[in-house]
Amino acid sequence: MRIVIALGGNALLQRGQPMTAENQRANIRVAAERIAAIAPGNQIVVAHGNGPQVGLLALQAAAYHDVAPYPLDVLGAQTEAMIGYVIEQELGNLLPPEQSLATLLTMIEVDRDDPAFDHPTKPIGPVYDRETAERLKAASGWVIAPDGDKFRRVVPSPKPKRIFEIRAIRSLVEQGTIVICAGGGGIPTMYDDSGKLHGVEAVIDKDLASALLAEQLAADLLVIATDVDGVYVDWGSEKQTKLGRVTPDELAGLDLPAGSMGPKVQAACGFARITGNEAVIGALTDIVDIVQGTAGTRVRSVGATRPQLASISQ
């Protein structure tokens, strides 16, 4: 079975943790253990978030005044390589030596007329108290938005249109390589009036990019791994209820947060509608059960059937 796994930010850094290399490696090691358990007999592609990491690099760059800070597309490329390196290494420590692994820097085209450029919503970087957030906003011209009882920088999040490296990714997967790609939603790029490709000051949503990746790879299963065990209605109330097996139409009417669960549901529904295959939103810790069909919120169009499962290593 061909499986695309979209690792949420919690797979790299727990909320409130210092963004040290040691903390991120420890979290990735846990994620790698889960992925390694489902690798035998399956084709695996891993995408991941990068919000905290790209935000930290932006802060570090802003602290050096001799040159202009690097733009977000360059910082995104840096984090793709950095995070992919650690995922590769931790998976390599768990899997047989003959299992090939590859991290691929991934450019993704966006539309320059995407309305997201007028309405930044994607949170990146660490959380701040109000005073610090206002100071950074004044100094850097950032757009700041609430995140729980804290505040974070938000940037435009245009929709992904095309994955430039899709043929290379497909070729590697078909040869049995575990591929880490489309990190942080991929490197956002667009064509200018002269037809030249260049980077964009934006962050593509990782889940939407992962859904496009899964669609173009003809994946049997899209797993959107996060820190909760599924999609809930009435979240945070006494009536909260986790959804089990649902159709895209049943999810369409839910009012979900734009910066967190909303894009995950949108990505899952889009993949299920276009391909007829299953998308699952659930906890990274449950990934074995997710692949076996017994955990997470499972999104599938009416009448679609589940593909044959490979055996799972426990």
pLDDT 10s digits, 162-172? 999 999 999 99
The rounded distance, in Å, linking the Cα atoms of 117 and 102 is 32
Confidence category of residue 259, pLDDT binned at 50, 70, 90? low
Tell me the average pLDDT across 187-194. Answer: 95
CATH number at residue 184: 3.40.1160.10
Q: Is residue 129 part of a domain?
A: no
Q: How many domains does the chain have?
A: 1
Q: Is residue 202 part of a domain?
A: yes
pLDDT 10s digits, 152-163? 889 999 999 999
The H-assigned helical ranges of 63-177 are 72-92, 130-140, 166-174
Q: Is residue 141 part of a domain?
A: no
> Can 303 be counted among the known catalytic residues?
no
Q: Find the domain containing 87 and state its range.
A: 2-50+66-110+159-299
Q: Which helix (H) or strand (E) holds 225?
A: strand 221-226
> Can 27 be counted among the known catalytic residues?
no
Identify which of 43, 8, 76 has the alpha carbon closest to the alpha carbon of residue 179. 43
- Catalytic pick from 10, 27, 42, 50? 10
> Can 259 be counted among the known catalytic residues?
no
Q: Is residue 137 part of a domain?
A: no
Instruction: Give yes or no for residue 143 having a pLDDT over 80.
Output: yes
Phi and psi angles of residue 234, each rounded to the nearest 5 degrees, phi first: 55, 40
Q: Is residue 167 part of a domain?
A: yes
Rounded to two decimals, what is the model's pTM?
Answer: 0.87
Q: Is residue 138 part of a domain?
A: no
- Catalytic pick from 8, 49, 122, 259? 122
Instruction: Give the pLDDT confidence score for residue 125 in this predicted structure.
Output: 75
Question: What burial letters (b/e) apply to 122-132, b meaning 16+ CB within 10 Å?
Answer: bbbbbbbeeee
- Catalytic pick from 9, 125, 185, 186? 9
> Can 122 be counted among the known catalytic residues?
yes
- Catalytic pick from 184, 199, 206, 277? 206
> Can 150 be counted among the known catalytic residues?
no
Q: Is residue 148 part of a domain?
A: no
Instruction: Give yes or no for residue 304 having a pLDDT over 60.
Output: no
